[in-house]
């Protein structure tokens, strides 16, 4: 099953590139999503032992991120049926194929227990997404794709150097001479600590670029602003979560080598900086898709803070991975609907979305409330666990700043969202024929109901999964 | 033998500095190609009898074919099609970037002095050369305006990572090194396609034209 959830999307991607008919091609995307979700259900019911000498294995941390992505990808694949039908003017060959390759690459990241395999898969997520940002074939999307490719490639190159540093740290006499996580963690104190520390810096910068942590986030507003909503949802709710998982893998090694204190401080610094920067740029943002990019910077910051705090906050961070993935899906898909119905994503042009789009408008608002941490939506609980972890361990400054940034972001983001949703849409630019349909408004509706349900009742199985992921990564 | 290795490392660093000072794109691409050839030579020179010969040859010829021939050829094609010859007004001037590059070399030596290698020493110049080249690459990417020069900077950065990877040849699986070459190929390939489109949209390869997205 583990090999199937990688190979089936890849095979379907090849089929999509060869498929002659653009109208039926998006169905391959749906087939890939359904197959992947079915595979994930099977893996929940029957966990599998490590494969290929332990290179691939679905552990608790990978399971959190991969399950989230599988649900999100299913929702976006349904949405894509409606979206690509409306965009029949564009050739969707690269788009469908690229998304399926992205699904396979993300799955490998989730399964990888070897830092080299992990790196190759992260590289592949970049290569699969860069052409998709250019889907709209105009100067602005080209600029966004170029920035994304250049900045991500730099990050990936530095991550490779960091991976080499880790390999070197275990190359001494009696060292593991391996990049398998199990070997590295088993060797623990045998690793050369200065090299592990240097490696953590390079890998945090490298994978932090993919996560979009400040100050490495420069590609994010452009890419999210110009990419189609589907890709925005998969980048903000999928790829960045996997980049966080990669940082968590490196953290495991650093912790085993005795560099936990240094790694935690670095994560806390970047995490709080990201939240602060998001708070500054979110206020007065005139473009609601770029605003979502800063929201993504904020939530990556929250994940980094959760991991950096250690203790009970780490389980909160993994809970937040799930919540971030699902609620980013709601926001990006509805933002895409609003963008199309108005032909603009400027806050000055768009108003009264809840009148013109009776489903997408209110869903956009609900998505904002969820992502900003309003009860009873589930992000409230994961953020609560993280704050609780900060205050419970006496980190009052971190906890206080965390709450302050959340409050500022709530106000800043809320002002923009309300301008878009409320008011009278008469006189605003219009593009007839782009109203709500079940295919484009149904998936975000399903996702927000899921976020609400998880906020009201978190199944015991998921709670245990977050605990064991936290135990695996941070020993807490 | 050792003096030959010394010489090669020094040449790699000299090329770094040359790239920082050069404004002619053709000369810069040739320099990067030469650097690729030197790396291929290094892979051979640094091999000890303990190494698997097939593996060493694969890495060496891979570097020669991709870094010294294929990619420079691709870059020459790109500048011929877009008819650009020179870098214009870099964000950081040639003399300041030379000075920054020189400082980078000094820092790289200091840094590698502070980080003792856990493996038996391969060559004293290896780590400083790798770090100085990585630094040069970063500097080129952030300080130049032309898309071609930025790609060249990325290649130099990758060359630095490759030099560092040579430390690992005796115990790392082929996959990681293949990853370097694959990455290089794929990145430039995609960048090449994007550049082609930039050219068509803006009729220049000046990434300053790519500045309409900002807050």
The ipTM estimated for the assembled molecules is: 0.88
DSSP A374: -
Q: Which residues 372-411 in chain A show a CB within 8 A of chain B? A: none
Q: What's the confidence (pLDDT) of residue A75?
A: 95
Q: Please state, in angstroms and rounded to a whole number, the distance separating the CA atoms of residues A300 and A242.
A: 11
Q: What's the confidence (pLDDT) of residue A98?
A: 92
Residue of B71, B161, B198 to mutate, interface with A, max A Cβ within 10 Å: B161
Q: What's the confidence (pLDDT) of residue A52?
A: 85
At residue A70's C-alpha, the angle toward residues A67 and A76, to 5°, is: 145
Search chain B and give the residue with CA nearest A123: B183
User: Which of A220, A349, A459 has the alpha carbon at shortest distance from A467?
Assistant: A459
- Provide CB contacts within 8 A for B71, sequence distance 6+: B32, B33, B36, B155, B184, B185, B188
Q: What's the confidence (pLDDT) of residue B3?
A: 82
* A156 Cβ under 8 Å from any chain B Cβ: yes
* B172 Cβ under 8 Å from any chain A Cβ: yes
* B119 Cβ under 8 Å from any chain A Cβ: yes
Which strand (E) or helix (H) includes residue B77? helix B71-82
* B178 Cβ under 8 Å from any chain A Cβ: no
Q: Do B141 and A157 touch (CB under 8 A)?
A: no
Q: Do A154 and B154 touch (CB under 8 A)?
A: yes
Average per-residue pLDDT in chain B? 79
User: Tokens 């399903």 sit at which residue?
Assistant: A446
Identify whether the C-beta of residue B19 lies closer than 8 Å to the C-beta of residue B31: yes
Picking from B116, B118, B161, the nearest residue to A175 by CB comes out as B118
Q: What three-state secondary structure class fits B90?
A: coil
Report the 10 Å Cβ neighbour count for A232.
27
Distance from CA of A116 to the nearest CA of B (A): 6
Predicted confidence band of residue B193 (pLDDT cuts 50, 70, 90): low
Q: What's the confidence (pLDDT) of residue B205?
A: 59
- Compute φ and ψ for A287, nearest 5 degrees: -125, 115
What would you report as the CA-atom Rg of chain A, rounded to the nearest whole angstrom?
Answer: 21
Q: Do A168 and B168 touch (CB under 8 A)?
A: yes
What domain count does chain A have? 1
pTM value? 0.92
Task: Give every residue of chain A whose pLDDT is below 50, as ranges.
Answer: none
Q: What's the confidence (pLDDT) of residue B43?
A: 84
Distance from CA of B210 to the nearest CA of A (A): 5
* pLDDT tens digits for range A131-189: 888 887 777 888 888 888 888 888 988 999 999 889 888 887 777 888 888 888 888 88
Q: Please state, in angstroms and rounded to a whole number, the distance separating the CA atoms of residues B137 and B159.
A: 9
Which residues of chain A does B117 touch, with a Cβ-Cβ cutoff of 8 Å? 168
Helices (H) and strands (E) in chain A, counts: 20, 0
Structure tokens at A440: 């484009």
Q: Please state, in angstroms and rounded to a whole number, the distance separating the CA atoms of residues B155 and B142.
A: 13
Q: What's the confidence (pLDDT) of residue A101?
A: 94
Q: Do B179 and A169 touch (CB under 8 A)?
A: no
* A140 Cβ under 8 Å from any chain B Cβ: yes
- Provide CB contacts within 8 A for A212, sequence distance 6+: A219, A220, A240, A243, A293, A296, A297, A300
Of all residues in chain B, what percent carry a pLDDT higher than 70?
Answer: 72
* A283 Cβ under 8 Å from any chain B Cβ: no
Q: Do A142 and B180 touch (CB under 8 A)?
A: no
Residue B186 has pLDDT above 60, yes or no: no
Identify the domain containing residue A124 by its residue range: 4-474
User: Which of B141, B147, B143 has the alpha carbon at shortest distance from B204?
Assistant: B147
DSSP per position, A22-36: TTTTHHHHHHHHHHH
* A194 Cβ under 8 Å from any chain B Cβ: yes
* A143 Cβ under 8 Å from any chain B Cβ: yes
Picking from B168, B175, B207, the nearest residue to A164 by CB comes out as B168
């Amino acid at each position: 099953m583990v090999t199937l959830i990688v190979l089936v999307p890849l095979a379907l991607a090849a089929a999509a590139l060869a498929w002659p008919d653009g109208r039926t091609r998006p169905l391959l995307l749906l087939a890939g999503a359904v197959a992947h979700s079915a595979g994930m259900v099977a893996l929940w019911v029957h966990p599998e032992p490590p494969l290929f000498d332990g290179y691939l294995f679905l552990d608790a941390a990978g399971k959190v991120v991969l399950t989230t992505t599988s649900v999100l990808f299913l929702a976006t694949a349904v949405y894509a049926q409606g979206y690509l039908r409306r965009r029949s003017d564009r050739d969707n060959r690269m788009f469908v194929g690229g998304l399926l390759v992205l699904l396979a690459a993300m799955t490998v990241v989730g399964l990888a227990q070897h830092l080299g395999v992990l790196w190759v898969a992260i590289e592949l997520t970049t290569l699969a997404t860069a052409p998709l940002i250019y889907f709209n074939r105009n100067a602005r999307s080209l600029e966004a794709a170029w920035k994304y490719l250049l900045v991500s490639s730099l990050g990936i190159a530095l991550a490779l150097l960091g991976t080499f540093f880790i390999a070197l740290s275990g190359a001494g006499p009696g060292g593991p001479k391996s990049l398998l996580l199990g070997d590295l963690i088993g060797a623990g104190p045998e690793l050369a600590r200065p090299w592990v520390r240097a490696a953590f810096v390079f890998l945090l910068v490298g994978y932090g670029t993919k996560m979009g942590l400040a100050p490495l986030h420069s590609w994010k507003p452009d890419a999210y602003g110009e990419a189609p909503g589907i890709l925005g949802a998969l980048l903000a709710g999928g790829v960045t979560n996997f980049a966080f998982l990669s940082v968590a893998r490196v953290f495991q090694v650093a912790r085993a080598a005795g560099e936990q204190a240094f790694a935690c401080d670095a994560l806390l610094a970047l995490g709080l900086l990201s939240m602060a920067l998001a708070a500054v740029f979110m206020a007065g943002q005139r473009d609601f898709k770029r605003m979502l990019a800063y929201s993504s910077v904020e939530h990556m910051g929250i994940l980094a803070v959760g991991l950096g705090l250690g203790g009970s906050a780490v389980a909160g961070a993994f809970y937040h991975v799930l919540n971030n993935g699902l609620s980013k899906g709601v926001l990006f898909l509805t933002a895409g609907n609003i963008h199309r119905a108005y032909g603009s994503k400027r806050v000055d042009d768009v108003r009264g979305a809840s009148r013109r789009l009776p489903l997408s408008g209110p869903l956009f608002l609900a998505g904002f409330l969820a992502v900003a941490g309003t009860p009873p939506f589930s992000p409230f609980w994961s953020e609560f666990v993280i704050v609780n972890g900060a205050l419970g361990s006496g980190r009052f400054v971190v906890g206080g700043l965390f709450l302050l940034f959340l409050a500022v972001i709530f106000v800043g983001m809320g002002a923009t969202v309300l301008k878009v949703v409320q008011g009278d849409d008469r006189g605003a630019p219009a593009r007839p024929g782009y109203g709500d349909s079940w295919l484009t408004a149904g998936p975000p509706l399903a996702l927000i109901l899921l976020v609400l349900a998880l906020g009201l009742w978190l199944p015991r199985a998921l709670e245990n999964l977050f605990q064991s992921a936290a135990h695996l990564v941070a020993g807490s | 033998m050792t003096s030959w290795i010394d010489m090669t490392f020094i040449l790699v660093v000299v090329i770094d500095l040359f790239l920082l000072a050069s404004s002619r794109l053709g000369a810069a691409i040739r320099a990067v190609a030469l650097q690729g050839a030197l790396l291929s030579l290094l892979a051979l020179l640094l091999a000890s009898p303990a190494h698997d010969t097939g593996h060493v040859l694969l890495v060496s010829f891979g570097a020669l074919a991709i870094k010294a021939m294929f990619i420079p050829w691709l870059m020459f094609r790109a500048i011929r099609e877009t008819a650009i010859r020179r870098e214009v007004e870099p964000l950081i001037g040639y003399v300041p970037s030379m000075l920054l590059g020189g400082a980078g070399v000094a820092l790289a030596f200091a840094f590698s002095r502070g980080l003792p290698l856990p493996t038996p020493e391969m060559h004293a110049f290896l780590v400083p050369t790798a770090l100085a080249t990585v630094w040069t690459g970063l500097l080129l990417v952030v300080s130049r305006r032309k898309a071609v020069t930025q790609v060249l900077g990325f290649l130099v950065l990758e060359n630095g990572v490759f030099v560092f990877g040579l430390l690992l040849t005796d115990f790392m699986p082929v996959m990681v090194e293949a990853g370097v070459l694959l990455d290089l190929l794929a990145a430039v390939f995609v960048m090449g396609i994007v550049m082609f489109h930039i050219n068509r949209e803006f009729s220049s390869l000046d990434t300053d034209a790519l500045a309409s997205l900002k807050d």
